[in-house]
Structure 1
Amino acid sequence: MTIKTEQPKTVEDIQNWLIDQFAQQLDVEPDDIDVEEPFDNYELDSSKALILLGRLEKWLGKELNPVVMFNYPTIAELSERLGELYL
């Protein structure tokens, strides 16, 4: 019997996941999401940020400090930082 273990997420995986989450939240196509655009420009208020963070924690299987989303306020920056911290 083989136990399936999930592969670690790459920076690209994290970035793609975040793009998909923002696209769903904004009801737009993933191609319309700019990874260099600040979260504030996507109407990501603190409550939405915490919901997103909770989903991200579950997806990564890691607990995250909420401050990370404010210290790295774009999809590109957050993806890179999470890649450095957790991969």
Structure 2
Amino acid sequence: MGTMDPTFNPVITDDSAAFSEKAVQAMEKERQGMQLSESYKLLEEMTDYRNSPSCKEKQQCSLSDAKDTFSAKYQQEPGVSGPLKSRQLAG
């Protein structure tokens, strides 16, 4: 396949520390506005999260208590780790 059109390529093209910091702050601010505690608690119940590999092997047993971490690194897509990243549910 060919190269992705830069207009639609979601990687960060600004290498400055100021941009990275501003982008991470914007993602954190947006996340703070989300009220996800009740949704996370319901999701924990529905998925039997206490018996998941994340809980048993990594001792990450609460989605609502965990913290999301954001990244904005040059030439990479913006990133998130923590409960907001749905893959954590799978372990």
TM-score (norm 1): 0.36
Q: Which has the higher contact order (CA 8 A, sep 6+)?
A: 1
Query: Which structure has the larger Rg over C-alpha atoms?
Result: 2
Larger strand percent? 2
Larger helix percent? 1
TM-score (norm 2): 0.35
